[in-house]
Structure 1
Amino acid sequence: MAAIGAQPAAPGLLGFGELKLHLPATRLQWLALVMSLGLGGIGAELAWHHPLSGPLALAAWGAAALLAALFWIKTPVLLFAPLPLIGLAPWSGWISFEEMDLLVTACGCGGYLAYALQLNARDRAPAWRHALVYSPAVVVLILGMAAMALLSMLRGFADAGGFRFGWFHGYHEAMNSVRNAKALFLVLALLPLWTAAAAARPRGFSRGLLLGLVLALAAGSAAALWERLAYTGLLDFSTDYRTTGLFWEMHVGGAALDGFLVLTLPFALLALLRTRSPWRFAAGLGVALLAAYACLTTFSRGVYLALPLALVPMVLLADAQRRRAAGSGPESSHIDSTLGAVDEPLPRLAKLGALAMAGAFALAAALVFGGGGYRGLLALFFVMVILLTMPASLWLPGFGQRLTAVLMGGLLALLLGALSWALSMAVPKAAYVLNVVALLCCAALRWKDQPGQARPLYVLMVTTSWFWLLSTMVIVADYWGGTAGRWTALAAGLTLGGLWAAMLLQPRLWPLQGAASAGKAGWRKRALLVAGLLLVMSIVAALGGGAYLRDRVATWKEDGQTRLSHWREGLRLLHGPQQWLLGKGAGRFVSSNLYEGPPDSQIGDYRLRTDETEAFLALTGGKHVLGYGEQFRLSQRIATPAPGPISITLVSRTATGAALSLQVCEKNLIYMESCTDLEAHLQPYRAEGAAADAPSGWQTHQLKLGAVGAMGGDWWAPRFVTFSMALASNGARVDIARIALQDSQGRPLLVNGDFNREMAHWFFSSDRYHMPWHMKNAALHVLFEQGLLGLALMGSAFVLVLVRLSFGRGRDHPLAPAIVAALIGFATVGAFDSLLDVPRVGLIFFTLLLLGLGLRALPGEGVARVA
């Protein structure tokens, strides 16, 4: 155990100043030391070979390992929090290895070393306190999954023509099998460490996992927000642009961001439902709203379907947990019962009122946005916020007094509304000022509430001010949208006004009744409802203000037929019983589809070759329709060029005529903006006197790219600048020995333009032609790579986790509802995309899957109440 002090070192201790570390004393500690050294050696080797800077990568890796050693119980925070931001492949050119591998090895090296030397150790916890326990049958299942993944990787090597190590292999070479299979093995490398952490400090480990995934969601959603700000604008829902964030794995399409969001969002929502701290609640609500925006701008129908299918079971499971925690039966005997009383369920009429309110707002939002735009929608939002904060004292006066308040308030508000409309017609912008004044009046009256006192005059004033606020919302829509805005907003206002009158007259319809929703006790519930309003507004704005989402929703049937055809074509690539049983091998779908699939699946490719003197790049074009967006591009991110022409020096050769497209664009990953390009028509070259069938020789071309303007975007939303080259000729091949770019000030823009450092800094993409790169279904992806046997093992583990955490031994673990929701969401999105060919998404998935096989609730674990 670590100790602070200057006492003499006891036997079995190492002394480093004031820090004392135990030497390994048990077999498990010696094994942990071996694991630490092994992962340390692998991580240091990978870091030293990082294409951007070996020394910097090694220093960062060492810092991460040190943090993992100091906080080994909470290594999930260190591992998952930066995960969506650390994909540097567009800069480095690495895809077989990546920064995720460095982070995993650093966490493993530091964590196992801390465990072996008993840094921050505690007394060994009794078996009943172990939160992560695997039965023998589950251990056999996990070993079976690992064996199938290993066999799949070996079969992938064989299908690629044998194993050959390379730092910069692409999708067709042997190292792609490592890339596709490594996620499971990376999780297995950390699983013993996490098992020890869950035994030593189970709550600390669970909270670390929750915090890590919530921070990851925040980081990934922030990246999505930056991308929208930089490339489309925050509220542009019409541009044909789907958010990719910093998930480089979407360079050939796919649903990496979609899978990441559905795997992490349930944890943020679960934390939001359970926190009682206003500051933590505010932070969690901000993360949830940011993630909702990211989900919306994926324009993914799979995500839109996955969220309700996943989050409804999560809320039900969390609610069942808190009821068992507060109960007195045998089911709650091992759960902390100090959580307070469980809220009574809403009465039937209150549920009806809640549904009516939700439906009325959704309808009103659609009507108001259609005519009054974003300004009318914002005015409607504040109308609903004031409605949700209505004080309970309004229902204390008698029915007759409340009826009088409704009738008199409506008449007074009608008079104020008429005067306000006249003023808005006479004075420019007065509509907005009047709306703010009415809002401030409502807020001031809410502040003057006296709980528990029946004040009929107060009810009249509140009702009048709210009806007036409702009328100013109509005026704002009328001022902005004219006649259309006036009548649609008026219909919405009458609907909401009638609903509020009914609820004021019939208290049982009001959904926020009861002690749990009154005063300060109900702030969380009202805040969640306000967040729901924002979400509905976002959906209405996306559907009403953007044609792109409407078009995608309208084409679901055609896209479904395309996927069915693609799945049939993919399964035809499996030949014979052995491939159906064991699979074709990890990472082999792209190559199999290229060589054995239909002609329109023959995509472009690149290979690094060498002749007698130097390395060169062999770039080929696809045989499908090569539109502007369908070309296979080889790219490099460059510094922002100075405005003006760009000079290009190209040394190339080709056996047949070929059109080489060269571009400088503002581009994150697969959508190009502000491009300056040229198309160079290359012809074969043979020296004088050479035979007609002699190979083409090298030619040097001096090219001028048109003048580029100011690029790079704003400082608060920068745009990446990318140079790309692609073949616009079907099936053509061009060999490139050297390429160099200079901007108008003579600055060189390209690195490794002679390919002597292999493919360092070069990255490839297929902007809009995605089908040949993916199986487009997670289950069929596993079937193709691991066969029916691998699919059966993984499917069994998946179902077992859902059963354990919903009805079995792990159902009362605090994270069980979120894990179930994450896996359901993953399966839903995975029905339309591969997902497991994205290592970072695979890492999160296998973490939740393997932890779900062993998590169990502890005596006294307890769960916080769900609002």
Structure 2
Amino acid sequence: MAAVGMQPAPTGLLGLGKVQLHLPRTARQRGALAAAVGLGALGAALAWHHPLSGTLALAAWMLVAGLAALFWVKTPVLLFAPLPLIGLAPWTGWISFEEMDLLVTACGCGGYLAYALQLNARDRAPAWRHGLAYSPVVVLLILALAASAAWSLHRGVADAGGWVFGWFQGYHEPMNSVRNAKAVFLVLALLPLWTAAAAARPRRFSRGLLLGLVLALAAGSAAALWERLAYTGLLDFSTDYRTTALFWEMHVGGAALDGFLVMTLPFAVLALLRTRSPWRFGVGLGIALLAAYACLTTFSRGVYLALPIALVPMVLLADAQRRRAASTDPATSTLDSSLGPVDAPLPRLAKLGALALAAAFAMAAALVFGGGGYRGLLALFFVMVVLLTMPASLWRPSLGQRLMAVLMGAVLALLLGAASWALSMAVPKAAYVLNAVATVCCAVLRWRDEPQATRPVYVLLVTTCWFWLLATMVIVADYWGGTAGRWTALAAGLALAGVWAAMLLEPRLWPLQGAANAGAAGWRKRALLVAGLLMVMALVAALGGGSYLRDRVASWKGDGQTRLTHWREGLRLLHGGEQWLLGKGAGRFVASNFFDGPASAQAGDYRLRHDDGDTYLALTAGKHLLGHGEVFRVSQRISAPAPGPATVRVTYRTATETVLYLEVCEKNLIYPDRCTGTYVMTKPQAGPAGAPPAWQTQDVALGQVEALGGRWWAPQFVTFSMGLETRGARMDIRQIALQDAQGRALLVNGDFGRDMARWFFSSDRNHLPWHIKNAALHVLFEQGLVGLALLGGAFLLALGRLSVGRGRDHPLAPAVVAGLLGFAVVGAFDSLLDAPRIGFLFFSLLLLGLGLRALPGEGVARVA
């Protein structure tokens, strides 16, 4: 009998080696072919016009399209994995279009072509086996969302003065409406393909989505790690430097990295909780810790608030999922037999012990780091790792035997500690060696455990060694921090010793008693707890090792008042009932704030002009208070100049006395460092009567440039920038060239003959004019109350479906809920949707959340 949904042998069969292609016969296949052609034409045109190399971009586009055709069910992997790395705007000058557009069109073209021609044809599952299905009401809601976004695009273009196409337009021009509105349409372009993939291979599609988002998190977090390593140092928590990774959208502030992290981290945590493979668990744990470091170095209070609000419900939903699956009647369910038993909840005393242990460690970490620094904190980490791996056999002896082990172990450890302290005072660095020896002794004893044996002497040895390890931690802190380190670490050690002694004497207080007998699952739990220790230590180091995070936490009240004032001023830009109902249009906040907001808050701007045969850059300065960081800059990334004197030749005209600032810096996005720059005092030169001022050419000595570019293992970008230091001034620049000490010309397109290709702009410190700083208000401003109601309704519906509705048992439902909640929390303090990559990720989760549903009897993977 033919499989369900199997197509009969087609008459229109094309042989292509071992690959068989089938001509489209159904309406869906013909529609897929039309979509492939349309996306292919659009993507190829965009690739051919890429500012860096049209040929290479087109070749890369074709490669991705081919991969998407071969693996069309798992296109989310191809789509999401490189997403945080492919923003090349600082090199290209593109902001209306970007590499994400090329990626989406390539995946769509290849995927739809494979579906239309039945490349790698798969049996279509019956409707009840579809992992992604939309009810008629949800379809109407999605169409309404699309219509609202399209109308917002139309209104935005009209508000900008009508449709004018341009490859390099800025935030004030019509193409910015396309930039702000395109995210939802890109997701909608792929949604039918994803629906078909979830129908053909629902589990592979879900795994591909999970893998793509986890790889994206790994890539974005690795970029954040590189940035910290290159520009500040891994443990520098005092420098006023917030991580931006490779999210160019933060060139005028914003929270693109913040939104990305809170939407992708839940998927990594969910995968970590469910995997049983040791190597996958290790990789997942590494990714989670790397992402935690990236979250910490955003120094974003929104991220710190979003993570618990998102992750706690995720864990609860995942646990409820597994319990429902495990309680299903075996006679009527195809529940995966590898689910294993459902873990019983911790008893009350065990919960009390867990709280005591967590509190003791948190207090100890703060005390030890305050006096003993990073080395004392590392010694404390080894203490806790040994504690969390204590074997269950320690509780087999009687209470009296365990009490004697505690008392005698404390005395013996005191003697060992005294001898160790004396040795550390006599021999340099001996404190670290002794700590390592104590750690090794504890590890050897753990290895020599005999789980079924009752050995009071073994309990004495383990207790003695662990108390000795505590003593060496105090010695390390004393050696590093002196008297302060000694007494703070001693207080921490006594607290931990008391907690452990109580747990050894009363086994019901020990929260890992069940895990000790749970085999591999118990070790996974311990590994997760060790990861939690690392995260707590990182937070303690950030708070105690630098003032920046403390200052940001302390300034929340003043920043909150600034936000409220900014929101009120932003809403005042909506005039009349029509704008409140339908919005002012996509991408129009910056221009509206510039022309209709307070004049004293106007930011700088640029335009490329073509007058009387001249092509030039019209650069203006803001009217706000211009500190060095508040200057509006137009920049270009360059190769590292040779050390020595560098010169700039600039052809310009100005109607007023203006200060032009030129600089070469090591700079990722908005934090310049090791700059060589100069101020150029310019004066107008009169032209013919009635004509604009005359053009002037000036050679400027930039100064002695240092060796820039960073180290080979932590390279730094080098950027040339120019800006005006005179409030409200304007300068026209027709040509600019930079020459290093070896005579090399470092600027490309210095005459602006290729429009703004290779030029990029930034507002390093003045961010409020560029964002309304709230995702809901952003939607209200662009799409009005109608658009806000539609998006809010879709958001709540997705949360309801995945929490208590038909989608609650889909394996990815908890992570999607957490991602949406994280977006909402960070979006309460920043716009987010004005960053296309973040908007694309959000609408992907939202629209998938409206359709995901569990397969009957599928069950879920076991949660640790």
Distance 1:10 1:319 in 2: 47
2:800 counterpart residue number: 803
2:359 counterpart residue number: 359
2:51 counterpart residue number: 51
> Contact 1:390/1:446 (CA < 8 Å) preserved in 2?
yes
Find out whether 1:719 has 2:716 as its counterpart.
Answer: yes
1:635 counterpart residue number: 635
User: Could you tell me the percent identity over the aligned residues?
Assistant: 78
TM-score, length of structure 2 as denominator length: 0.98
SS in 1 for 2:629: coil
Find out whether 1:581 has 2:581 as its counterpart.
Answer: yes
Shift of 1:614: 2.4
1:742 counterpart residue number: 739
Find out whether 1:665 has 2:662 as its counterpart.
Answer: no
Shift of 1:17: 2.2
SS in 2 for 1:834: coil
2:774 counterpart residue number: 777
1:416 counterpart residue number: 416
1:274 counterpart residue number: 274
Distance 1:765 1:433 in 2: 50
Shift of 1:704: 0.8
Residues 451-493 of structure 1: per-residue CA shift (max 9 Å, x gap): 1111000000000000000000000000000000000000000
Give runs of aligned pairs for residues 37-186 of structure 1, distance below 5 A.
37-186=37-186
- Using the TM superposition, name which of 695-704 and 811-820 deviates more: 695-704
Q: Which amino acid aligns with 1:287?
A: I
Q: Which amino acid aligns with 2:423?
A: L
Distance 1:279 1:57 in 2: 36
SS in 1 for 2:630: coil
> Contact 1:61/1:102 (CA < 8 Å) preserved in 2?
yes
> Contact 1:337/1:862 (CA < 8 Å) preserved in 2?
no
Cα pair distance change 1:109/1:328, threshold 3 Å: closer
Distance 1:492 1:735 in 2: 64
SS in 1 for 2:773: coil
Query: Structure 1 regions of 5+ residues with no counterpart?
Result: 1-8
> Contact 1:392/1:518 (CA < 8 Å) preserved in 2?
no
Q: Which amino acid aligns with 1:748?
A: A
- 1:830 pairs with one of 810, 824, 827: 827
Shift of 1:521: 3.8
Distance 1:331 1:793 in 2: 43
2:293 counterpart residue number: 293
Distance 2:318 2:567 in 1: 37
2:705 counterpart residue number: 708
2:684 counterpart residue number: 684
Q: Which amino acid aligns with 1:458?
A: Y
Q: Which amino acid aligns with 2:280?
A: R
Shift of 1:866: 1.1
Cα pair distance change 1:425/1:331, threshold 3 Å: farther
SS in 2 for 1:724: strand
TM-score, length of structure 1 as denominator length: 0.98
Shift of 1:600: 2.8
Shift of 1:121: 1.2
Cα pair distance change 1:331/1:292, threshold 3 Å: farther
Shift of 1:678: 0.5
SS in 2 for 1:629: helix
1:753 counterpart residue number: 750
Q: Which amino acid aligns with 2:763?
A: S
Shift of 1:599: 1.9
Shift of 1:520: 3.6
Distance 1:369 1:80 in 2: 39
Shift of 1:328: 3.4
SS in 2 for 1:726: strand
SS in 1 for 2:863: coil
2:345 counterpart residue number: 345
- 1:812 pairs with one of 806, 809, 814: 809
Q: Which amino acid aligns with 2:369?
A: F
Residues 700-731 of structure 1: per-residue CA shift (max 9 Å, x gap): 10111001011000000000000000000011
Distance 2:717 2:521 in 1: 48
Give runs of aligned pairs for residues 492-511 of structure 1, distance below 5 A.
492-511=492-511
Distance 2:821 2:76 in 1: 22
Q: Which amino acid aligns with 1:364?
A: A
Shift of 1:339: 1.5
2:612 counterpart residue number: 612
Residues 724-755 of structure 1: per-residue CA shift (max 9 Å, x gap): 00000011000000001110101000000000
- 1:762 pairs with one of 759, 764, 769: 759
Q: Which amino acid aligns with 2:813?
A: A
Residues 7-55 of structure 1: per-residue CA shift (max 9 Å, x gap): xx96210111232111111010000000000000000000000000000
Residues 535-587 of structure 1: per-residue CA shift (max 9 Å, x gap): 00000000000100000000000000000000000000000000000000000
> Contact 2:391/2:516 (CA < 8 Å) preserved in 1?
no
Give runs of aligned pairs for residues 490-569 of structure 1, distance below 5 A.
490-514=490-514, 517-569=517-569
How many residue pairs align between the two structures?
856
Shift of 1:234: 0.3
Please provide the CA RMSD for this pair: 1.2
Q: Which amino acid aligns with 1:133?
A: A
> Contact 1:326/1:332 (CA < 8 Å) preserved in 2?
no
Cα pair distance change 1:88/1:187, threshold 3 Å: same
SS in 2 for 1:184: helix
Distance 1:101 1:685 in 2: 45
Shift of 1:248: 0.1
1:469 counterpart residue number: 469
Cα pair distance change 1:250/1:805, threshold 3 Å: same
> Contact 1:324/1:331 (CA < 8 Å) preserved in 2?
no
Shift of 1:440: 0.5
> Contact 1:335/1:859 (CA < 8 Å) preserved in 2?
no
Distance 2:330 2:837 in 1: 41
Distance 2:601 2:113 in 1: 48
Shift of 1:107: 0.3
Residues 749-798 of structure 1: per-residue CA shift (max 9 Å, x gap): 00000001000000000000000000100000000000000000000000
SS in 1 for 2:339: coil
2:403 counterpart residue number: 403
Distance 2:851 2:20 in 1: 33
Residues 405-457 of structure 1: per-residue CA shift (max 9 Å, x gap): 00000000000000000111111111000000000000000000001111000
> Contact 2:19/2:119 (CA < 8 Å) preserved in 1?
no
Q: Which amino acid aligns with 2:524?
A: R
Distance 2:652 2:28 in 1: 58
Residues 165-195 of structure 1: per-residue CA shift (max 9 Å, x gap): 0000000000000000000000000000000
> Contact 1:327/1:337 (CA < 8 Å) preserved in 2?
no
2:6 counterpart residue number: none
Shift of 1:329: 5.7
